[in-house]
Structure 1
Amino acid sequence: MVEAARARDAADPLAGYRARFALPEGVIYLDGNSLGALPLATRAAMARVIEREWGEGLIRSWNTPEVGGAGWFDMASRIGGKIAPLVGAAPQEVIACDSTSVNLFKLIAAALALRPGRKVVLSEAGNFPTDLYMIAGLEAQGLAERRLAERARLAEALDGEVALLLLTHVHYRTGELFDMAALTRAAHEAGALVLWDLSHSTGALPVDLHAAGADFAVGCGYKYLCGGPGAPAFAFVAERHHADLRQPLTGWFGHAAPFAFSDDYAPAPGIERLQCGTPPVLGLTALEVGVDLIAEIGVERLHAKSRALSEFFLECLGTLGVALELASPVASDQRGSQLSFRHPEAYALCQALIARGVIGDFRAPDVLRLGF
């Protein structure tokens, strides 16, 4: 198996990109599905912004480069435009802002407002907790009704009361993929809108929101986009909804004219209205480096390598006689960039691997996750 692995390494067209990341010697990092590795270029970018743009440019750096600034004011839309092709969207439909949780709250509320007379938000039992908690938060205000269904029964749970179907494209625990196009179509046929959480998809596998007919999406910046811990997230709104979209967090950066300092709120045109407070320039700086690098490598190539690695890993387990219960789908085209295994001592296994320089992670109660 070692010789087979070396042969694969020698033929790997992406091998040179390893040197573009800060990866400690002696560490095998299999947890990019929780926190992406540090791109080496991030250090220089952060130093430039801190020392030159902040340290020397000061407040002037909010201005455009044409007048001597650094373009801070437009960072959210500029980086959103770079994320857009990674998820099959147009540049004017994506903005980098806030956290995944905050963007979920904004878009759930906006979707409910677009479907008056309907209050049900349908999701999967066992979805990532923050998705469910955001629905519950709106339910506590009397604005939503949370309905959960098992994965196999979601389509039949779509009825005339459902305003929004909220699902995570790649399940965080098992890596199982939803058929985005089929479920979006089913929701639309029932008169509902659809919001996709792409936190475990973006940068790891091809996504085409336009082809699926998606209405809304959110995604994470610190996993496969390598934007750093707590990196800003992103949000997508199909352009057909821009004119009617009303989101509840009407902060000053989502105003049509923020520097007019009006007492009354007027939403900015297009995707800009999803902004709330002042953009986190340092976080966006790191995120932009990661997005640029992932775009350069190419999501299709990354996905192909991820599938090959996970398949080879399973082959190795079989050859070595290691018996672990696979919680992920067996077929690599039915899962994201991870393999999940169930074991009663999954936590102990995870810690033992980490002690030996192989970093994966654990998800309660019994799942060992390894990202590829």
Structure 2
Amino acid sequence: MPSPRLPSAPPTGPAPLPVMQYDDFDSPCDVVDALLLAEFVSGRHTWARTVQLAKPRPGTELLPQRARLIRTAMERNRVSRLAAGDGWLARVVLGRGRGVEVTVTAVDAETGASVLDEIVEQGAEPLDAAHVAMGFWHQNQQGGGQRDTRGIQAPTWETIRSNYPAEAAAALTDLMELAPEAVSGRLLLLHGPPGTGKTTALRALARHWRQWCQVDCVLDPEELFADPAYLMEVAVGEGEDDKEDGAERSWRLLILEDCDELIRGEARQTAGQALSRLLNLTDGLLGQGRNVLVAITTNEDLSRLHPAVVRPGRCLARVEVGRLSYAEAAAWLGDDAAAVPAGGATLAELYALRAGAPVAAEPAVTIGGYL
């Protein structure tokens, strides 16, 4: 991105724009970013704030009344607009599948907050009950953490409870009904074979905890625990400017999907400091004073996980999400129960059977073969 250069002395009158330096790697959207910063860098604007909207209202320009459009930059994955008004600048970035990011700089807090409130009020479409706002963290090209917000569909637990074996359903019911004051342990483990509904259960959990817990998904957990600066940024978190329902959330849940190599028994040797940093986030010094929970999904059996991960007191819950038994699968499938294999089925297999696709039976175990 172009780098603004500060003036040599503080401005005493109308400040000149900072000198911008560009190269071949800069894009038109980078120019919009630099122009947004110009007034703030020069000192003319002393207030700035950024918010994200998970679900923008269709068809809105996301600009205040009487705004003067200065630049529009269109790239493959985003559109960036810069507008100006009396004592303020606003940049609105619409990213494909990433919601909207709005940044306002202004001569003072009152002016800036008024403009920002107008943009959010006219542009934010409230999420319906079936959707929750979820953050998605990843490491950006500058090496820092970037959080994008999206509204995701989240089912109620009541509508999906029959998708899980009785023991797992009972444990998940307890989780759904958990109150923040009853939290003990900071690690949530969901383990079991692929296609058993672990991710769907977490989406339902995000819906049931929406009033007290902000849910974020980390897309690159390997980079997260390899880079202390990135980990610190995620651990500290961001303000909840993106929430549309006004809930006061005091807890955060970080979801790490398919992190087998991070928590299996040999993780100390294969993942270096990653396991130590994960444990430090859950109940070490890094986690002190921060209401952060970590949910990990894995295909590994608990017996293969590192003992430090599953020790008593560390886990809020350890839920095995396995295959439904023959009786449970037959009840789920109803009229087509005859198609259920004798050994039961996973949730993914049941949906395949409902669609008419054949499902292979569980292979028999041969004595002397690989187990």
**TM bracket (short chain):** under 0.3
TM-score by length of 1: 0.24
Q: Which has the larger radius of gyration?
A: 2
Where is the strand percentage greater, Structure 1 or Structure 2?
2
